[in-house]
């Protein structure tokens, strides 16, 4: 494939991936502003609504490894495309959901394509982009997901009814699905270069399922990146889930002000997804950038909420969101740069990382920290900061995966 065609294919793959990532995240985060419509319509209490909101993450916990494994074996386009059909069909069915159980199933299935894309994001970008641009490509994809959250939170209340917003979301999903099957192609570096394939014109081979598992599960580096992702995501969820409540309960902020301050973290997330890979490319070294981001994340998670109200607090909230999201982006992109993994096994490796990442997001804050620490917020967020230090320690023992010639 010549350079011009490869460049065009890379841009198309990035666009299709970002659009497809938009759909499930938008379908989830649009629920929060229209809770006043959903809860009476389906006779939900607060617990049921919380379960409904988090239902899209169920597939990620159960299927991330399978998603990566299948994509390494059969190709990303086919596997993610089938997952997209399932999710879009669920979004269409959601329009007609008669009760909570049906709506829950539809939302859970809508998250399937997000699971398959998150597990394979590094593989997709590593298959199309050179190593020095993989981080930026991954960052754009993740920024697209973050942007969809902001759109969902900011515009859902403008729709006149549940049917209207559910129908609109299904139409967007159908457009993304058609674009995926028509335009997305598997990247030229996403297959195995067997000795036979080294001969000019010989086809490349997809590795077997057993080979994918063998290579990935014995890689210490994959597990270290996965643990670091889990720690980073756990700290992120500590902020996203509880920060507005903490600012109201301990600092005396009004609900509107607490929500506005918390949104500054989200803007930092969006900036970090894009700018951290640019910083990475400029520095030319993965480890010092990732460790610096982890340390900033640790300090911000532990202490930013305790700062005096004013511009400095806003800056620290922004930097905390920037560092947490930036760390996640460079860690995800690092998977495909590991010499033992590369684009060939990046799907399976990404599945391991996504599983540990979601474990950190779901289990650590809600099922470990809260039952043990409760609402002792200095300790709660102090432990959140320690989680980021653990992530830094994991990065410290990793090899340097991005070596720029000087």
Does position 4 have pLDDT exceeding 90, yes or no? no
Comparing 76-80, 294-298, 370-374, which segment has the lowest mean pLDDT? Answer: 370-374
Mean pLDDT (whole number) for 69-77: 88
Q: Count the helix, strand and coil residues of the chain and give each as a percent rounded to the nearest 5.
A: 85, 0, 15
102-112 average pLDDT score? 94
Residue 196: predicted pLDDT = 43
* 102 and 218 housed in the same domain: no
How many angstroms separate the CA atoms of 9 and 76, rounded?
Answer: 14
Regarding whether 155 and 110 lie in a shared domain, the answer is yes
Let me know if residue 345 belongs to a domain. Answer: yes
**Is residue 24 very low, low, confident or very high in pLDDT (cuts 50, 70, 90)?**
very high
Whether residues 32 and 133 share a domain: the answer is yes
State residue 86's pLDDT score.
97
Quote the pLDDT of residue 265: 87
- The overall average pLDDT reported for the chain is 86
pLDDT tens, 180-201? 999 999 887 655 544 444 444 4
Q: Looking at residue 109, which CATH number applies to its domain? A: 1.20.1250.20
* Structure confidence at residue 404 (pLDDT): 57
Give the integer Cα–Cα distance in Å for 265 and 58: 25
- For residue 90, name the pLDDT band (cuts at 50, 70, 90): very high
Domain-embedded: residue 203:
no
Torsion, Cα 180 181 183 184, to 10 degrees, reads 60
pLDDT, position 190: 56
Whether the per-residue pLDDT at 268 is higher than 70: the answer is yes
The residue among 33, 40, 173, 19 whose CA lies nearest residue 106 is 173
Domain assignment present for 192: no
CA-CA distances (angstroms) from residue 236 to 118, 268, 317, 326, 348? Answer: 17, 12, 12, 12, 24
| Residue 204 scores a pLDDT above 80 | no
Mean pLDDT for 138-159 is 80
In-domain check, residue 288: yes
Asked, for residue 401, whether it belongs to a domain, the answer is no
Against a cut of 0.75, is the pTM above it?
yes
Mean pLDDT of 270-295: 92
Q: Do the domain assignments include residue 404?
A: no
Q: How confident is the model at residue 142 (pLDDT cuts 50, 70, 90)?
A: confident
Share of the chain above pLDDT 90, in %: 44
Domain count across the chain? 2
Report the pLDDT averaged over residues 81-90. Answer: 97
Rounded percentage of the chain residues whose pLDDT exceeds 70:
93
Pair 57, 20 in one domain: yes
pLDDT at 266: 82
Q: Structural domain of residue 67, as residue ranges?
A: 3-185
Same domain, 169 and 303: no
Sequential DSSP letters for 332-376:
HHHHHHSTTTHHHHHHHHHHHHHHHHHHHHHHIIIIIIHHHHTT-
Which token pair is 26?
Answer: 């938008």
Q: Do 148 and 289 reside in the same domain of the chain?
A: no
Q: Is residue 297 part of a domain?
A: yes
The residue from 185, 220, 241 where one domain ends is 185
| 190 assigned to some structural domain | no
Q: Which of 190-204, 255-269, 314-328 is modeled with the greatest confidence?
A: 314-328
| Same-domain check for residues 173 and 225 | no
């Amino acid at each position: 494939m010549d350079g011009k065609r490869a460049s065009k294919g890379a841009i198309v793959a990035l666009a299709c991936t970002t659009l497809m990532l938009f759909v499930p995240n938008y379908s989830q985060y649009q629920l929060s502003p229209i809770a006043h419509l959903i809860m009476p319509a389906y006779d939900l209490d607060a617990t049921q609504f919380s379960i409904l909101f988090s239902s899209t993450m169920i597939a990620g916990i159960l299927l991330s490894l399978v998603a990566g494994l299948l994509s390494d074996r059969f190709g990303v386009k086919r596997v993610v495309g089938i997952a997209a059909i399932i999710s879009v069909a669920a979004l269409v069915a959601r329009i007609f959901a008669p009760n909570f159980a049906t709506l829950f199933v539809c939302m859970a299935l809508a998250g399937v394509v997000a699971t398959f894309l998150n597990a394979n994001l590094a593989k997709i970008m590593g298959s199309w982009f050179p190593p020095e641009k993989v981080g930026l490509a991954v960052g754009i994809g993740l920024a697209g997901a973050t942007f969809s959250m902001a759109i969902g939170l900011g515009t859902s209340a403008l729709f006149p009814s549940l049917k209207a917003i559910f129908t609109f979301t299904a139409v967007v999903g159908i457009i993304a699905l058609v674009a995926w099957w028509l335009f997305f192609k598997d990247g030229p570096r996403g297959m195995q270069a067997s000795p036979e394939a080294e001969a000019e014109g010989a086809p490349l081979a997809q590795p077997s399922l057993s080979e994918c598992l063998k290579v990935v599960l014995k890689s210490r580096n994959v597990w270290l990146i996965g643990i670091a992702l889990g720690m980073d995501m756990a700290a992120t969820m500590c902020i996203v889930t509880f920060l507005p409540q903490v600012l109201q309960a301990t600092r005396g902020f009004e609900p509107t002000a607490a929500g506005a301050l918390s949104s500054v973290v989200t803007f930092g997330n969006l900036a970090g997804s894009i700018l951290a890979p640019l910083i990475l490319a400029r520095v030319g070294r993965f480890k010092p950038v990732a460790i610096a981001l982890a340390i900033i994340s640790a300090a911000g998670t532990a202490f930013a909420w305790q700062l005096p109200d004013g511009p400095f607090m806003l800056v620290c909230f922004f930097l905390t969101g920037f560092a947490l999201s930036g760390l996640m982006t460079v860690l995800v992109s690092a998977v495909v740069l590991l010499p033992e993994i590369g684009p060939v096994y990046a799907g399976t490796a990404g599945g391991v990382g996504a599983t540990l990442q979601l474990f950190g997001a779901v289990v650590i804050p809600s099922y470990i920290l809260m039952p043990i620490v409760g609402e002792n917020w200095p300790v709660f967020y102090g432990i959140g900061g320690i989680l980021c230090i653990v992530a830094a320690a994991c990065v410290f023992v990793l090899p340097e995966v991005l070596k720029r010639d000087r």
